[in-house]
Amino acid sequence: MAVSSVENREVKGNSIYFTDDYWDRIDEDYCYGGHDMGIFSLEDGTIEPLLDC
């Protein structure tokens, strides 16, 4: 899915938002939504967490 960062200011441009679907290991120590979630920057190759845990 592609989303325009011009029309949706909540999203970062030139980035890939990613997540996984592995739910077997989720417990109280994890934030809601999976343990491999983040935003990959196509500009500098960095990954930042999607949620601040």
Q: Are 33 and 19 in contact (CB under 8 A)?
A: yes
| Residues 9-37 pLDDT 10s | 888 999 999 887 766 665 555 555 456 78
Res. 8 pLDDT band, cuts 50 70 90: confident
Assess whether pLDDT exceeds 60 at residue 53.
Answer: no
Assess whether pLDDT exceeds 60 at residue 46.
Answer: yes
Q: What pLDDT is attached to residue 30?
A: 56
Is residue 34 within a helix (H) or strand (E), and if so which, with residue range? none
Q: What is the pTM of this model?
A: 0.65
CA dihedral 8, 17, 2, 32 (to 10 degrees): -70
